[in-house]
Structure 1
Amino acid sequence: MSTDDAVTVTSAVLRQWPLPPPGVGKESRGRTVVVGGSTKTPGAVLLSAESALRSGAGKLQVATTRDTATAVAVALPEALVLGLPQTGEGGIDPACADDEELVELVRGAHAALLGVGAVGEPDVRALLESLVPGLGNTVVLDALGLAPVTADATFLHHLRGQAVLTPNLAELAIVLDADPEEVEGDVGAAALELARRSRCTVAAGGGESWVAAPDGRLWRDASGGAGLGVSGSGDVLSGIVTGLCARGADPTQAAVWGVHLHGRAGDRLAASVGRLGFLARELPPEVPAVLAEIEV
């Protein structure tokens, strides 16, 4: 498929592709688990976890470094928080991939977000290379969580498309081993190539966002603008996508809806705060209102 044939995402397009009915209880809207964070970047899991709930997920669980777990639990009273052993760098110790409680948590979730806010590329890669092959649920990889795919494009093939990758443009170039300027010049084509290699849905973007499906379908979303280029914005996006997957959306639908919800939340803040200067932490509270506007 040519990028010229990409579907432009609008509210009208999404109304023709409605999300699964939400049900009446938290279990009916799925279990989300977020695995990541470090002593240096504890806020990333907070942004992603809240975003999953704001997108309608029912039950939230977080696994993060032991030293930050209590603070995360206080900041997220809605979540079960599991503290994990740490490396000297302050990241998650990859040896905990054999921890029965962590394995049960991740396998029991409807959707798992892995790698957000994690540090230490070799450690993150080792953790996921031990943990992910045994999974059969939907997986979302963000930030350093993409490291195993960079090393081996077939890493998620066993999930048969039940996975989403959410790289920023720099990460997209790294995973593809491509020139960053070439990727920035044709983000849609780069997303399609990664989707083809990985057999996963890919959501990537800068000034505009692109979602590519493994079967070659492509969507373009121009919402959001420059204000979304701020620390933590990608953590919010990955959390929204994961929450929608937990609700029962298939990975490609979750990515297309998630990119638009993220962008529209940015549009709302641009109108109320300013085109630049709003914060990533301000995005999640806007998501329910955007959802309501679309689903009217």
Structure 2
Amino acid sequence: MPSRSDVITPALLRDWALPVPTGGKEARGTVLVVGGSRFTPGAVLLAGVAALRAGAGVLQLAAAESTAASLSIQVPEALVVGLPETGDGAVRGDPGDLLRGLVAEADVVAVGPGLTDIETTGELLRLVLDAAGRETALVLDAYALGALSHAPELLAGSGRKAVLTPNLTEAKHLLGRDPGDDLDAEAVELAGRYDAVVSLYGHIATPDGRAWREESGDAGLGTSGSGDVRAGLLAGLLSRGADPAQAACWAAFAHAVSGQRLVPRYGRIGFLARELLDEIPYTIATV
């Protein structure tokens, strides 16, 4: 029997309104994105800008040192820190005290966009979880999910505010098997297993079994970098004060509807992930 979930609609979101912070940028929190490699700096850029578009007050990017100067020019709004690299251009798993300090001060840490080595990502994930405060919200994406699948105890039972954003391949690793057709049920199982909110292709679940689904997404979102935008969007919403389930539902809707808004210009497929970024604030504001 299929699992029951609530459809995410504008009416549902209006009744679950996002916090509206007052004051300066500090009131909207600090997002730190940890990711990238020598060959994939764009993932960090997309996630970081999406976080700002969703309302984060301060953005910090920690990425492979060979890409830091370029990222600082591409995203002048962010503090950019270069992390030591392996010979293959991946971020090393022992980046030192600078990253530990940034994690300790951040309100939200997103780990995974653009990372390329599972072993070093596992070391990075352990560092982040060790350095993060108990109230720090976490978004785990891409290779961070692969690392988590090898060490579920890092989150299970921890009580941390965390959101996992797997695609179907990453869900397979997290589940230890191929996902079935009922993605609501798979999201619920993952949420319970890892003690985190899960956003699986628009199917959102909490560890206590609540579930929602977003039905506006279309084929155009299946494009390179789209997942990085979604992870950053989530981080930005968490930064401005949304709780993990609320942020996941709003992010799924804003991601999907931003794609819809591009269809009249580009058709159902063919738009780029970076073109989603400029649509995010209007989509959120007009719910």
Q: Is it true that 1:58 corresponds to 2:40 in the alignment?
A: no
Structure 2, gaps ≥5 residues long: none
User: Residues 115-152 of structure 1, C-alpha deviation per residue, up to 9 Å, x if partnerless?
Assistant: 11101111111221233133221111000011332012
Q: How many Å separate the matches in 2 of 1:212 and 1:271?
A: 32
Partner of 2:151: 152
SS in 1 for 2:146: helix
User: 1 CA distance for matches of 2:2 and 2:161?
Assistant: 23
Separation (CA, whole Å) in 2 of partners of 1:290 and 1:274: 18
TM-score where L is the length of structure 2: 0.96
Aligned residues between the structures: 285
Distance 1:34 1:187, change over 3 A: same
Q: Does 1:190 align with 2:186?
A: yes
2-structure distance, mates of 1:116, 1:46: 9
Determine the structure 1 residue equivalent to 2:242: 249
Q: Distance in 2 between matches of 1:252 and 1:123?
A: 29
Question: Match for residue 100 of structure 1?
Answer: 97
Tell me, yes or no, if the aligned pair for 1:44 and 1:232 is still in contact at 8 Å. yes
Distance in 1, matches of 2:212 and 2:198, equals 10
Instruction: Report the RMSD for the aligned CA atoms in angstroms.
Output: 1.3
In 1: Cα distance, 2:94 partner to 2:147 partner: 16
Q: Output one character per residue of 1:144-202: Cα deviation in whole Å (capped at 9) or x when no partner.
A: 011332012221136414000001111111111112xxx25121111111100000000
Match of residue 199 from structure 2: 203
8 A Cα contact 1:201 1:252, kept in partner: yes
Asked if residue 273 in structure 1 is aligned to residue 269 in structure 2, the reply is no
Gaps of 5+ in 1: none
Aligned mates of 2:103, 2:73 — CA distance in 1: 21
Alpha-carbon contact 1:62-1:82 (below 8 Å) kept: yes
Residue in structure 1 matched with residue 33 of structure 2 by the alignment:
34
Task: Tell whether the 8 Å contact from 1:148 to 1:155 is kept in structure 2 after alignment.
Answer: no
Residue 124 of structure 2 corresponds to: 127
1:227 aligns with 2:220: yes
Q: Where does 1:20-31 land on structure 2 (aligned, <5 Å)?
A: 20-31=19-30
Give the TM-score normalised by the residue count of structure 1: 0.93
Shift of 1:272: 2.6
CA distance 1:158–1:64, change in 2 (3 Å): farther
Matched with 2:10 is: 11
Partner secondary structure for residue 90 of structure 2: coil
* Structure 1 stretches of 4+ moved >4 Å: none
Partners in 2 of 1:230 and 1:184 — Cα distance? 23
Instruction: Say whether the 8 Å CA contact 1:161–1:214 is kept in structure 2.
Output: no
The percentage of counterpart residues that share the same residue type is 44
